[in-house]
Chain A
C-alpha cells in the first residue's frame, strides 16, 4: 500500500541552511520559513513515526541533507549492515541532497558507545576508514561526505595530520569532505595548535559542506581549559572569523547552523543562518571582483 509520490531530487544549494530538530518540526511544517535547506540527524528518523511524517512533509518544500552519526566509519567491528540498510531505506524515502557521517568510530564488540570517538591517524586507520567508506558508498550508490570531529585528546601514535588524513580519504574513495569549522577551532584550542594550519592540506580537495555551531568552555580539575562542542550556543566570534578564512579557501559551499542542546526559538537559528548567508554572499562578491581583475 505504498502510494507516496516520488520526490524530485533537490541538490543542497551553496547557501546557509539550518539543522532541523524535533522542537521545530511543527513550526517549519506549518509556517514554511524562508530557509534555503535543512539537515537532520538520520538516526532520529530511522524509527519512523511522527518524526518521519514531518520530515517527508518538510522535504516536499525544501532540500534536505541526511547527517548520520551511527555508521562508525572508523570502527573495526564487522560493519553494521543493519544500520547501513536503515540509512539506505531512509535515503530512498527522503531523496536527500547530501549524506554525511564522521571521521570517528562509535561501536566495539557490538556495543554502541553513543559518541563520536577519536581515531589515531595512522596508515592502519586510513585503510580501515577507506574500506568502510567504500562499503557505504557502494551500498548507497552515491558518494558521502566525511566530517572532521572535535577532539579532546591526541594519540601519541598519530603520524598523519587530520586534514591530510581527510584529503587522502577523498583521494582513495572519492568521498567528499564536510568541514566543521567549529570542530577545527575546538580541536586546535584543546590540543594547542593553530586552527589555520588545518586548511592548506585541503586546498583543492572536494569540500562540499561546512558546519557551524557553538561550543562550551569548561575547566578540568587540573585547571586546564577545555572546549566542548555541545552545540548549545551561538557561533563563537573566533569561529566566525575562521569561517571567513575557510570560505576564502573553499569558496562558497553549503553552510549549516547546528544547535543540539538548549535548543532556542527557530528565529535564533534564522539569525545565525542570516549571518552565514551574508558571509557567503560577501565571498561571492569578492570572487566576482577577483575574476574581473584577472
Chain B
C-alpha cells in the first residue's frame, strides 16, 4: 500500500499532465473518474483567469482563451490557495506565446488588467501615497494608485474590448506608442486613465518618494517642449486618484 504522500504526488502529477493512468492504478479507480478532478481544476483556474482578464478573453474569444489558459496553467500552476492572486505572470506568458503572435498588444492589455485587478482588491483605508505642498495646496495620492507603461495603446483597446465594441476596436491605431497609465480603486472596481508623458513622469517621481520640486523637474524633462505646470493642472489635479486640501 503506497504512503499517502506517494498517492498525492501521483494524483497531482496526473491532474497537471492529464495522464491519469498511473495514479488511477495506484488508487484502484478508473482513469475517467480521476479526469473529473482534472476538469474541475482546469475549469476553476481558467475561470479565475477569465475573471481577471476579461478583455484578453474578449479579444481572442472564449474558446481560444480557454486553450491559452490551459497552456498557462501547465506552465505556471498556482502556488497559493487564493485564486484571486493567481495569474500575475499571464502578461509575460502571452508575450512569449507563439499562437497569439498576431496580436502583439495582447500582453500589454493583460498587464493593464492585472493592475486593474490589484487596484480593485486594494484597501480603501490604507495610508495615502505621497504628500506634497503645491503652493499652499496639499496633494496626496490614493493608496491604491499604480502606474504602468505599455508599448501599445492598451487603454483604448481594453475599453473597446470590454464594451464589446468591434467598430471602435477596428478604428484603433495599434502602432506602438509609449503611454503611462494610472490605475486606482473606485467604490466597486477600478478606474484607468491615460496620461501624457509630463503627467506620467510627475506621478512616477512622486510614487518613488520625490518631493514637489523633483516631480515638476521630472515632468519638465519628460516633455521639454511643453509646459509642465499646465500638464499637471490639466491631467493630475482633477484626477480621481488625487486628494487636494488646504495646507494651512
Q: Determine whether the beta carbon of A108 is less than 8 Å from that of B82.
A: no
Cβ of B164 within 8 Å of any chain A Cβ, yes or no, is no
A241 at the interface (CB under 8 A from B): no
List chain B residues, Cβ under 8 A from A111: 12, 16, 77-79
Given A153-B34, A228-B36, is A83 in contact with B8 using a C-beta cutoff of 8 Å? no
A115 and B4 in contact (CB under 8 A), knowing A47-B121, A49-B120? no
Given A114-B45, A153-B30, A226 and B4 contact (CB-CB distance below 8 Å): no
A69 cross-chain contacts in B, Cβ below 8 A:
81
| Given A43-B81, A115-B41, A155-B27, CB of A226 within 8 Å of CB of B8 | no
Which stretch in A74-82, A134-142, A202-210, A246-254 binds the other chain?
Answer: A74-82
Question: Are A153 and B29 closer than 8 Å at their CB atoms?
Answer: yes
Name the interface residues of A133-175: CB closer than 8 Å to any CB of B.
152-157
Cβ A157 vs Cβ B82 within 8 A: no
Decide: A80 and B81 in contact? CB cutoff 8 A. yes
Residues of chain B with a CB closer than 8 A to A106's CB: 81
- Asked whether A105 is an interface residue with its Cβ less than 8 Å from the other chain, the reply is yes
- Cβ A83 vs Cβ B80 within 8 A: yes
- Given A50-B120, A76-B4, A153-B33, do A113 and B28 touch, yes or no (CB 8 Å)? no
Report the Cα distance A76→B9, complex, angstroms: 10
Interface-forming stretch among B99-107, B181-189, B210-218?
A: B181-189
Residue-wise interface mask of B (88-109) relative to A, using a CB-CB cutoff of 8 A (1 in contact, 0 not) = 0000000000000000000000
**Closest beta carbon of chain B to A191's beta carbon, Å:** 10
A49 touches B185 (CB 8 A): yes
**Given A152-B37, A153-B29: A114 touches B83 (CB 8 Å cut-off):** yes
With a cutoff of 8 Å between Cβ atoms, the chain B residues found around residue A119 in the complex are: 4
Q: Which residues of A71-120 are within 8 A (CB) of B?
A: 71-72, 74-76, 80, 82-83, 86, 105-115, 117, 119-120
Asked if A152 contacts B125 (CB within 8 A), the reply is: no
B41 to A113, Cβ gap below 8 A? yes
Any B CB within 8 A of the CB of A19: no
- Digit string of B2-14 for contact with A (CB within 8 Å is 1, else 0)? 1111011101100
Nearest chain B CB to A125 CB, angstrom units: 6
Contact of B84 with A by CB under 8 A: yes
- Write the nearest CB–CB distance from A222 to chain B, whole angstroms: 7
> Given A47-B82, A108-B11, A122-B4, do A152 and B120 touch, yes or no (CB 8 Å)?
no
Q: Size band of the B side of the interface? A: 35 or more
Contact between A108 and B78 (Cβ–Cβ < 8 Å)? no
- Residue B1, interface by CB 8 Å: yes
The residue in A83, A86, A114 that gathers the most chain B C-beta atoms within 10 A of its C-beta is A114
A48 an interface residue at 8 Å Cβ cutoff?
yes
Question: What's the Cα separation between A49 and B51 when bound, in Å?
Answer: 15
Q: Which of B16, B27, B121 contacts A153 (CB 8 A)?
A: B27
B16 contacts across to A, CB distance below 8 A: 111, 113
- Across the interface, which residues of B come within 8 angstroms of A80, CB to CB? 80-81
Q: Are B37 and A115 in contact (CB under 8 A)?
A: yes
B47 to chain A, nearest CB (A): 10
B15 at the interface (CB under 8 A from A): yes
Bound Cα distance A47, B98 (Å): 32
**B48 closest partner in A (C-beta):** A114
* A46 to B34 alpha-carbon distance, docked (Å): 30
Q: Is A1 an interface residue (CB 8 A)?
A: yes
Q: Mark B107-137, 1 if CB is under 8 A from A, else 0.
A: 0000000000000111111110000000000
- Taking a contact as CB atoms closer than 8 A, the residue among A50, A82, A109, A156 that contacts B28 in the complex is A156
Q: Does residue A220 face the partner (Cβ distance < 8 Å to B)? A: yes
Q: A108-B8, A155-B28 are in contact. Are A82 and B80 (CB under 8 A)?
A: yes
Alpha-carbon gap, A108 to B9, bound state (A): 6
Closest to A228 in B: B36
Bound-complex Cα distance A249 to B53 (A): 47
Nearest neighbor of A46 in chain B, beta-carbon distance: B82
* B247 contacts A by Cβ under 8 Å: no
Question: A194 within 8 Å of B by Cβ?
Answer: no
- Give 1 or 0 for each of A35-51: 1 = CB within 8 Å of chain B CB: 00000000110111110
Least CB distance from B201 to A in Å reads: 29
- If A70-B82, A83-B81, A120-B7 touch, whether A115 touches B32 (CB-CB below 8 Å) is no
The 5 sampled A-B contact pairs (Cβ below 8 Å) are A44-B84, A50-B189, A71-B81, A114-B48, A157-B1
- A residues bordering B, Cβ < 8 Å? 1, 43-44, 46-50, 53, 69-72, 74-76, 80, 82-83, 86, 105-115, 117, 119-120, 122, 124-125, 128, 152-157, 220-222, 226, 228
Beyond A53-B124, A114-B78, 14 additional pairs, beta carbon < 8 A: A48-B122, A48-B123, A76-B8, A80-B80, A83-B81, A108-B9, A109-B12, A112-B78, A112-B81, A114-B48, A124-B4, A128-B4, A152-B29, A157-B27
5 closest residue pairs by CB, A with B: A70-B81, A156-B28, A153-B29, A49-B121, A108-B12
